[in-house]
Amino acid sequence: MNYWPEFLLIVGAHALAVASPGPDFAIVLKQSLLHGRRTALWTSLGIGVGLAVHITYSLLGVSWLLKNSAATLSALQYLGAAYLTFLGWQAVSAKPRAGEVELAGFTHAPTPRSAWLTGFLVNVLNLKAALFFIALFVLRVSPLTPLLLQVGYGVWMTLATVAWFSLVSVVFTQPAIRHKFLRYGHWIDRSLGVVFFGFALSLVLTAWR
């Protein structure tokens, strides 16, 4: 059986999803501008591991439970909304930093573990990502596709996600780009906070439906 059409469908759908602005992009952008490349790269790796969790339970069939248990899905949606609200509050509370434009380095950077955990939680608690993979594996991947090949799809999407957000990390930590953003650094933080609030509200409204 020729699996190339199925693989290309998976690649195309995932590419569109990962490139679309969402919580993952917002947190990597925030980490890049505020804490630097190392923190942003660890955050990107956390996002990739979170995505691997979605893929794993989709492959194991746990996605059926999420899809058919309204209570479980709603609970996870509220949990994700709460975490995004927490991130939003942190961001909108940002205060002007003295000498923002002249900053040569990045201060108060979180540990690699903390940065990784932030990326992981933002992704794994994003129920829109969960629903995407449920739909992708349940509706688009043939039951006849060998499990090993499905795992290969998952590995591809995980590596592609980490690569994309690593690229975002590198681009937005370029000195010239960061210098321009830091001119209005605390306003960018606050704007991203509003974005996180918007994502949280979207999850809550979805849970109510």
CA distance 84 to 202: 11
Write down the pLDDT at residue 154. 92
Q: What is the domain partition of the chain in residue ranges?
A: 25-92+113-208
Distances (CA, A) of 1 to 4, 13, 142: 9, 21, 11
Whether the predicted pLDDT of 45 surpasses 50:
yes
Task: Give the mean pLDDT of 87-103.
Answer: 59
Asked if 59 contacts 137 with a C-beta cutoff of 8 angstroms, the reply is yes
Select the more confidently predicted residue: 113 or 192.
113
Write down the pLDDT at residue 178. 74
52: left (phi over 0), alpha (psi -120 to 50) or beta: alpha
CA distance 203 to 145: 32
Select the more confidently predicted residue: 65 or 176.
176
Select the more confidently predicted residue: 41 or 205.
41
CA dihedral angle for residue 184, residue 186, residue 187, residue 191, rounded to 10 degrees:
130
CA distance 115 to 16: 25
Q: How much is the pTM?
A: 0.73
Q: Identify the weakest region by mean pLDDT among 19-23, 61-65, 95-99, 164-168.
A: 95-99
Write down the pLDDT at residue 62. 59
What is the Cβ-side half-sphere exposure of residue 126, based on CA atoms within 13 angstroms?
Answer: 28
The winner for highest mean pLDDT among 53-67, 72-86, 142-156 is 142-156
